[in-house]
Structure 1
Amino acid sequence: MIPNPSHPVDPDLTPRARALFDALHRVSGEFTMLGHQDDTFSAHARERDGSGSPADSDVLAVAGAYPAVWGFDLGRIELGWSVNIDGVPFDDIRREMRRAYAMGAVVTASWHAVNPVTGGGYGENTAPGSVAAVLHGGDRHGEFLGWLRRVAAFLGSVTDEHGEPIPVVFRPYHEHTGDWFWWCVGSPLRPTDTGAGRYAELWRMTVGYLRDECGVHNVLYAYAPDRSRIDMATPASREHGYLFGYPGDGYIDVLGVDDYWDFGRGDPPATPRDRHADLADILTLVGRLAAEHGKLAAATEIGSPGAFAAESAEPWSGYLLSALTANDDARRMLWCLPWRNSADAVGTTAYGTPAPDSPYAADFRAFVRDGAIRLADTLPPLYSR
């Protein structure tokens, strides 16, 4: 456990959000929570279990408990849609956020917003000048503030049975070190037209507007560069690449990283041994910076270690677990979050956790029941002070 020299981005956090912030700092380094995106919206257990089990979660069906971190996405909330980018109704997302909170789990949300200039989504999400257009003085600034008001309204609507706002770890503008979203800045070696300074301005504007203008006080803010564009050659290049576009300590609660690259994505692929070394190195970097800056740390989105199953009979309890426990800095990852178990991701590094009939199910059980990992049923209280 490390001391907590940090202050939250929002000094007026709701009591439950402040309790979560403090609890996560207290337990930092003690264990890693297993998270899952859209856990109860993308389960295969109902389709594949011949016994007719009503299990609504592959993690539950395989490991006997729900994830300790539940991930959701707010994409299309900006347009006023009733369903998100994956077709999940926002009413259902709100319900499942309440359910996760009621069992003591952590709730986190990403935001795959459409391009503010073109309206394009996945695959059509970039256009020159997109970030400049939404900043102060840009021709889409007023419209974008309307988008943020819709985000704020949703976050404020997620309440418990007493009407109190549920804490949410919000991860907007993620993977900004790539080149596939309108907010991306690229890498120091291959920057986009956005520039690191504009990205930082976008982040600060967003936090300031949600917190100070919209009165959203139940949110912790997570920063999550994409690993694939970070130069791992030297410790200095890693840190420089990771912090490219960093908006400043006053605007970040969680230092995260989205990493599919070290789980088999990429052409030509490195050897599993090299990828494993890089995975441990990036987790170590994030954990060290979190300690130095007084921040929380997490592997905010990861690929499936099953991609390396041919090289390891234990991709979860071997490949991933050994990286998460490589040293004291890597152990500061408070959670790791595989992506959703969508049918179109089967066989790819983007597929999340094993279904009950997966050849990796037994290894996954060994992973989540290791003493270094937590599911929802083994969490300490996170919302009481």
Structure 2
Amino acid sequence: MKNSTLTLLFIYLSSLGCASEETSNNDENSNNSANKTTLKMVDSNATIETKALYSQLWNIQTKGTMFGHHDDLLYGTNWMAQAGGSDIKDVCGDFPAVFSVDFAEIMDDRSSNSPLNSDRERVIKEARERGEVIIANCHLNNPLTGGDSWDNSNNTVAQQILIDGSPVNIKFKSWLDKLAFFMQNLKDNEGKLIPVIFRPFHEHTQSWSWWGSSATTQTEFINLWKYTLNYLNNEKSVHNLIFAISPQLDQLGSKESLLYRWPGDDYVDFIGMDSYHGTNTSAFSSNLRTLGLLSKEKHKPCGVTETGLETIMVNGVAYDNYWTNEISIPLTGKNVSMVVMWRNKFELGGTHYYAPFKGHSSSSNFKLLFDTPHMLFSKDLPDMYTMAENITVE
């Protein structure tokens, strides 16, 4: 239970270092609760449910942080595409509040033979049926070279996408067309379109991708971002996407770090941050504070869209207190809507995992995180698809 004595003791101890910040935030939130808030989305024609989700993403930041896990419902360390599967649920008894998924194989040239695409659609619908939040990244292959997302060998990819009628432009649009078809047919049990937070071109601050800092100029990246959003909204009439930008910030950063290659307030709905900070707790905590302040300034919800420590080890030694030390405590008192761990790869005996699974040595510590009131899982969520009180979304 989340009100256990152990939990209360943990919260007391973990909040000592940020009591003044929490008091300030609580006073501010109390004052704001009497005021009506108007939010503005990129897509003014977004569906009612999409606008409702957007309002709840803003609203929940004052209540706590939703815990998420990439591909959690699709596969785990020891299983693949099993109905009801979830490494997180196996450990704590509840599903993550946020389900993260990759849209690339739905979109690019792998779409015709991807064995998991039907399961991707299935688990998205299952997450929506439980009232959870869906967020999608996109490791698209390189449309010019035919390589993967990490193929940054040619710095003209974005340029050629932006040349109307070029072979690369035609290919890229065909990929967006497949995403549009998928989103326009992604419906819940009542026949309503399922909203998805979509973060194309994630970690654009890094050099690894064909859209990243080593292969595009600032102008090219911004134009590519705007082109993609305009095409989906205006040309293909997709109205159930919330657009999230997600720079990567592992070390101590600043507001300017989060605004690197910012495409403009009219082209961003959600301010994400990918953070592979490892054990740099002070940097993570400071960056979370900066993210929350930027969210308030821009009047846009925010969240940690990727994080984690591979194998949950430091220098070859299991870090069994990771969940309280590096995730729960830094998030205490911060106005951040979500924190999403990277995936647990299906790999028997493998080491590519970022969340606990049944039998993992950090499981008991994870349950402490689960028990803290400010960490929200599936059963803790309000109705995320009904408009939040006193909030209007344009």
Q: TM-score range by the shorter chain?
A: 0.7 to 0.9
Partner of 1:359: 361
Name the SS of the counterpart of 1:289 in structure 2: helix
Instruction: Specify whether residues 227 and 138 from structure 1 end up closer, same or farther in structure 2 by C-alpha distance, changes over 3 A only.
Output: farther
Aligned residues of 2:344 and 2:355 also touching (Cα < 8 A): yes
Partner of 1:267: none
**For 1:307 and 1:23, how far apart are their aligned partners in 2?**
35
Per-residue deviation, 1:29: 2.4
Name the SS of the counterpart of 1:284 in structure 2: helix
Q: Unmatched 5+ residue regions in structure 1? A: 48-52, 186-191, 264-271
How does 1:18-37 map onto structure 2 within 5 Å? 18-37=51-70
Q: Which amino acid aligns with 2:216?
A: T
Matched, 1:299 2:307: no
The list of structure 1 runs, each at least 4 consecutive aligned residues, that deviate by more than 6 angstroms after superposition, is none
Instruction: Find 2:230's aligned residue among 170, 194, 208.
Output: 208
Per-residue deviation, 1:204: 0.8
Instruction: Specify whether residues 129 and 138 from structure 1 end up closer, same or farther in structure 2 by C-alpha distance, changes over 3 A only.
Output: farther
**For 1:347 and 1:287, how far apart are their aligned partners in 2?**
35
Instruction: Specify whether residues 204 and 345 from structure 1 end up closer, same or farther in structure 2 by C-alpha distance, changes over 3 A only.
Output: farther
Instruction: Specify whether residues 158 and 288 from structure 1 end up closer, same or farther in structure 2 by C-alpha distance, changes over 3 A only.
Output: same
How does 1:140-219 map onto structure 2 within 5 Å? 140-185=168-213, 192-219=214-241
Aligned residues of 2:79 and 2:346 also touching (Cα < 8 A): no
Partner of 1:8: 41
- Per-residue CA deviations over 1:263-314 (Å, capped at 9, x if unaligned) read 1xxxxxxxx4xx1111111111211111100111100011138334959652
**For 1:250 and 1:13, how far apart are their aligned partners in 2?**
14
Instruction: Find 1:244's aligned residue among 234, 255, 260.
Output: 260
Per-residue deviation, 1:79: 2.9
Aligned residues of 1:32 and 1:336 also touching (Cα < 8 A): yes
Partner of 2:147: 120
**For 1:372 and 1:28, how far apart are their aligned partners in 2?**
10
Name the SS of the counterpart of 1:34 in structure 2: strand
Instruction: Specify whether residues 88 and 34 from structure 1 end up closer, same or farther in structure 2 by C-alpha distance, changes over 3 A only.
Output: farther
Per-residue deviation, 1:320: 1.3
Percent sequence identity over aligned pairs = 29
Per-residue deviation, 1:135: 1.1
Per-residue deviation, 1:125: 4.6
How does 1:272-291 map onto structure 2 within 5 Å? 272=279, 275-291=280-296
Partner of 2:337: 334
Q: Which stretch of the first structure deviates more once superposed, 166-175 or 237-246?
A: 237-246
Aligned residues of 2:205 and 2:247 also touching (Cα < 8 A): yes
* TM-score, length of structure 1 as denominator length: 0.84
How many equivalent pairs are there? 350
Matched, 1:61 2:90: yes
* TM-score, length of structure 2 as denominator length: 0.82
Q: Which stretch of the first structure deviates more once superposed, 239-248 or 338-347?
A: 338-347
Aligned residues of 1:312 and 1:319 also touching (Cα < 8 A): no
Instruction: Specify whether residues 351 and 321 from structure 1 end up closer, same or farther in structure 2 by C-alpha distance, changes over 3 A only.
Output: same
Matched, 1:133 2:160: yes
Instruction: Specify whether residues 209 and 300 from structure 1 end up closer, same or farther in structure 2 by C-alpha distance, changes over 3 A only.
Output: same
Instruction: Specify whether residues 144 and 312 from structure 1 end up closer, same or farther in structure 2 by C-alpha distance, changes over 3 A only.
Output: closer
Name the SS of the counterpart of 2:75 in structure 1: coil
Q: Which amino acid aligns with 2:101?
A: F
Per-residue deviation, 1:318: 2.1
What value does the CA root-mean-square deviation take over the aligned residues?
Answer: 2.4
